[in-house]
Every structure is written in structure tokens, then in C-alpha cells.
Amino acid sequence: MSNTKPKCQTCGRKIPTSGSRLSSIGFRRRVNGITTLDDLINSKEYLAQFVKSRFQLKEYVDKFLARLEEIDCIDPENLADDISNIKTWILKYYDNTDPERKGFLLGKDPESPLYEFLRTEYPEINEPFQEFYEYYAQNVDNPLNKNYVSRALTALGLKTAMKKIKQNQDGESIGRKQKCTMMLLATKDELSEIFRKNGY
């Protein structure tokens, strides 16, 4: 096994392959933040570090970078679609070199049950974050804390919005007060597109 660090095939710089396990939420946020070819090129070093943190072997990093270079053919006429397809490929990346290693980059992370819960329970969503969190916490083993859930949903692409809602006062509808609350809002099509872009 070679100890030589892999080089970026675009710029030739050596890519660091050591370090601690990187956050899957940070990885998802970084990939979903890629909007241009420059963003993709500037993210290659980080992507390689993440692959290394998951698979622990330089050969996996080399293979990932080589496969990324193969699909890194951008059509200037269709730039947005090409970038979107590459991002989805990265998020769905699977290395079948060693089946024992269960070669998915993502899928066994702490937030995976949250995403599966959202995908199976909500064809669309329009409810306060607090209500969503309580329902999630009651129905999932080992639920994540609110802060983690909020960051995981943001990384997925589902953002919260502040909205005024009417609140019943002592069970009576007369004289209901308006209350500001954080809402999760996504139509069926929007939620479906969020999951498609994230490789689900």
C-alpha cells in the first residue's frame, strides 16, 4: 500500500488524507452549497478529506477523485443541471471495492433516521418546528436534540421560517393571540425535490 498523498487532477496540489472524522452534516451542507464549477473545484480537497475520514484508506480517495473526474464534464449550455447531477452523485456515492466496509459515504450517520422519518411520515410539511420535533422524538429510537435536528434539516435543504400563527387562549377561539413560531414549510413537490437532490 502506497503512502503517497493523492493529488487533485485539476490543480496538482497534494490532498491531505489524515485527520479526524468529518461531520456528515457539514459534508451535506458543503455539497448542497456548490452552485458553480469553481465551487466544485474548490471543494475537491474537502471532499477527498471527507472520503478519507469515512473509508480510512488512500485507495478509496484516489478512486473517488478518479470517478469524480470522469463525470466532471460540464456542458456550458446546461451548467445548472450538470452541477446538480454531480452533487447528487457525490451524496449517493458508493464504493464497492470492499463490501465489508459498507461503502456508502452517507447513510449510517446520526441524522439518517431523522431523514428517513421525514421521508416516510411527511409527503409535505407545514407545521411548527416544535410540533415536528415532538412527533419525531416520540417515534424514533434515540432521537437527536433540537439543535442537531435543526442543523440536519438545514443541511438537507429544508429551512425554517418565522411565521405568525393564531394560538387558542385557554381552549377558546375568541380573542386568539398571534404568536411567532419557527415553521417547517415545504410542498409535496418541494420536499420530493429536496430528497431527490440529496440522493434519496
- For residue 83, the one-letter residue type is I
Tell me: the pLDDT tens digits for 166-192? 765 555 544 567 788 999 999 999 999
Tell me: the pLDDT tens digits for 12-65? 655 554 455 689 999 999 999 999 889 999 999 999 999 888 887 888 888 888
What is the rounded CA–CA span in Å between residue 153 and residue 159? 7
What is the rounded CA–CA span in Å between residue 167 and residue 179? 6
Tell me: the pLDDT tens digits for 50-104? 988 888 788 888 888 888 888 756 666 666 778 888 999 999 888 766 555 555 7
Q: How many CA atoms lie within 13 A of 122 on its CB side?
A: 26
For residue 34, CA distances in Å to 37, 43, 47 come to 8, 8, 12
Q: Which residues contact 163 (CB under 8 A, 6 or more apart)?
A: 180, 181, 182, 183, 185
pTM: 0.73
Give CB contacts under 8 A, 24+ apart, made by 92-96.
92/199, 93/51, 93/64, 95/55, 95/60, 95/63, 95/64
Q: How much is the pLDDT for 177?
A: 73
Buried b (16+ CB within 10 A) or exposed e, 12-51: eeebebeeeebbbbebbbbbbebeeeeebeebbeebbbbb
Residue 160 has pLDDT above 60, yes or no: yes
**109: closest CA among 197, 198, 18?**
198
Q: How much is the pLDDT for 138?
A: 96
Cβ(176)–Cβ(150) below 8 Å: no
